[in-house]
Structure 1
Amino acid sequence: MPATSPLAVSVALCTHNGMPYVAEQVRSILHQTRPPAQLVLSDDDSTDATIETVNKVIARFRAERPDPGISVTILENKPALGVVRNFEGAVAACTGDLIALSDQDDLWVPDRLERMVAEFERRPELTLLHTDARLVDGDAKPLASRLFDAIEFTPQEQQLEREGRAFELLLKRNVVTGATTMFRRDLLERALPFVDDWVHDEWLAMVASVFGTVDFLPDALVDYRQHGGNQIGAAKLDARGKLARLQEPRSERNQRLLSRAEALHDRLTEADAPEKAIDAAARKVEHEKHRSALPRARALRIVPVIAAAIRGRYSRFGRPRYDLIRDLIQPDR
């Protein structure tokens, strides 16, 4: 039986005014123990020296290693496309068998790619893999918690992924962080174009969970910077932060959740997804319509909310202890 070719990895790195961290991140990518075959940098109309800095890092690397075997593609978006469309263009330009997503301000441990690729080589059924990360500050000093702790990725939720039930989990909420993610490029045949109201990483994870297998590694393979300028961060809310969320108006958020559910159902129907997934997505739409239509007066919400909870909607399509309380307490506008 002929030996299979090694899986080639493309890195999709998106930037926007990436100074002062992007140089460190690019170096951590180039110096992996298993280097990528391709680096795609998609820049979203930076007004600082992001591209010039990256080019200098790459030039220095090539001077040290005359034949590094890493191709570099640089895309420049003018005007800016926004985070999701920037990543959409980046992954579309990737040619490797596997695609690793990268933010501009993190740091990769030296064997991140090696360890993740090994999982894909060992498990042909694996479609998307994400990992834990170490939360660090702007100076790369460790913070108190890790990513999985910050997003409260519970043992019960982890077990769902381990059992191949990621779709069931992701219908409740997203637990996949793009900066830690790698997936097979053929996932893009199903996932592109990205849909409105979904962030790129959660959309990729959702589609992968319907048409393939999603799993995680508990290892922290990325230093995930939290520096105040993150477009998407991972700060863990304290009691005061959670209370503040309960005081935010509910209408806009609930309408966005409904739009997301409808977009998912439409895409799964168009893509001829398994009937079980389409039916679950339809029921998710029903649940979000129910939530959006709740009365403005809090007292009048009690009966329909409790009725939906008894029918299991909150436990199937969300986090009951958060969403049920939100629907009872949050102001309407």
Structure 2
Amino acid sequence: MNGCMKTGKPQISVLMAVYEPRMDWLKEQLLSLNAQTYPNLKLYIRDDCSPAVPFEEIQSCVQDCIRAFPYEIRRNEENLGSNGTFERLTQEAEGDCFAYCDQDDVWLPEKLEVLEKTITGSGALLVCSDMHIIDSNGDQTADSITKVRRHHKFMSGKGLAKDLLVSNFVTGCTMLVQAAMAKAAIPFCPYMVHDHYIALWCAERGEVISLPQQLVNYRLHAGNQTNLMAGVKDKASYGKVRIDLMLARMQWLKDYFPCSKELKQTINDALVWARARKQNWEHHGGTRLVWKYRRFSILPSVSEMVLKYVPDSLFMKTIQLARKNYI
């Protein structure tokens, strides 16, 4: 383990969760971390009990690739999932800012230097950026996440929590967050991906900034956890993945998320909307309330009123159009 030079710069800790990594992709990611131009880094890695990839192989890869700064690598005692693993990393890491890292992307060398300059100069609680999109072979397929996710709209400023309740514009591998804020957000909401919840936490408490620069080569492939309509195989699974999960999220936020009176009312309204979506999908009413609160997400609000009547075959054709970014 290498020593860390005294640079006078805030320490950025990179938090990486690993599970069943494809080793060539993991090596690319690690080498891109090692090539970062920012001078004060530490890497924390946790393997989430990968069943087929030996922990010793992951350790060896890290040892071979990371030479520019210190690192710690551990293995979970039991499988925690990505949210649980990132929460554990957030608890144990030290430093001034945290950068969350996947196992299959490639970071541009200046990524952390640009993000740190922005967060330090602005006083923002969290900054994020755009991304290049690459495929399984590493070839660029798009020059922005907005080209492959039609509804992804970057935002900057204060008072953005209401905009983050349902949809997220902060992709975890692009964000830098003040460490104290990330630690204060624990426990993470179990019904939100870690980056989404941290973004919501920060947005309720201060400024969030989105940069237009592409600072990551984001690898989109079949195994991505956040693929569009991931887990949807038929109408029943759509209800569980897209409707029940949203209902559970809003109930958890209502019960546990500390926030202003204004946001609490917005969460209450979103909970009414989420319950009505479930009633509508199960043909138990709710249509009027779904329409009334359609502002939370107009496309599912409107489309579910129709799609609940169509057969699974036609329903899945619609889902395929959504996955291809056509709707």
1:262 corresponds in structure 2 to: 251
- The aligned length equals 301
RMSD of aligned residue pairs (Cα, Å)? 2.8
1:185 corresponds in structure 2 to: 179
Q: What is the distance in 2 between the residues matched to 1:189 and 1:293?
A: 37
Choose the corresponding residue for 1:314, options 291, 294, 299.
294
Corresponding position: 1:42 with 2:46: yes
CA contact (8 A) 2:13 2:42 kept: yes
The one-letter code of the counterpart of 1:38 is K
Q: Unpaired runs of 5+ in structure 1?
A: 63-67
2:161 corresponds in structure 1 to: 167
The one-letter code of the counterpart of 2:146 is F
CA contact (8 A) 1:134 1:220 kept: yes
Corresponding position: 1:229 with 2:223: yes
TM-score by length of 2: 0.82
The one-letter code of the counterpart of 1:276 is E
Q: What is the distance in 2 between the residues matched to 1:249 and 1:49?
A: 33
1:141 corresponds in structure 2 to: 139
| Displacement after TM superposition at 1:89 (Å) | 1.1
CA contact (8 A) 2:35 2:109 kept: yes
| Displacement after TM superposition at 1:71 (Å) | 2.3
Corresponding position: 1:330 with 2:284: no
Structure 1 residues 306 and 278: alpha-carbon distance in aligned structure 2, compared to 1, 3 A threshold: closer
The one-letter code of the counterpart of 1:258 is L
| Displacement after TM superposition at 1:141 (Å) | 0.5
Q: What is the distance in 2 between the residues matched to 1:53 and 1:277?
A: 43
What is the DSSP-based 3-state SS (H/G/I as helix, E as strand, rest coil) of the residue aligned with 2:191? coil
The one-letter code of the counterpart of 2:265 is D
Corresponding position: 1:292 with 2:278: yes
| Displacement after TM superposition at 1:209 (Å) | 1.2
Structure 1 residues 192 and 22: alpha-carbon distance in aligned structure 2, compared to 1, 3 A threshold: same
Structure 1 residues 61 and 206: alpha-carbon distance in aligned structure 2, compared to 1, 3 A threshold: closer
Identity of aligned residues (%): 24
CA contact (8 A) 1:180 1:222 kept: yes
Q: What is the distance in 2 between the residues matched to 1:275 and 1:91?
A: 28
| Displacement after TM superposition at 1:266 (Å) | 1.6
| Displacement after TM superposition at 1:35 (Å) | 3.8
Q: What is the distance in 2 between the residues matched to 1:112 and 1:168?
A: 28
Structure 1 residues 227 and 35: alpha-carbon distance in aligned structure 2, compared to 1, 3 A threshold: farther
Q: Unpaired runs of 5+ in structure 2?
A: 1-6, 313-327
Corresponding position: 1:202 with 2:180: no
CA contact (8 A) 1:35 1:113 kept: no
Structure 1 residues 291 and 228: alpha-carbon distance in aligned structure 2, compared to 1, 3 A threshold: closer
What is the DSSP-based 3-state SS (H/G/I as helix, E as strand, rest coil) of the residue aligned with 1:143? strand
Structure 1 residues 327 and 7: alpha-carbon distance in aligned structure 2, compared to 1, 3 A threshold: farther
Corresponding position: 1:251 with 2:245: no
Moved over 6 A (4+): none
Q: What is the distance in 2 between the residues matched to 1:231 and 1:295?
A: 25
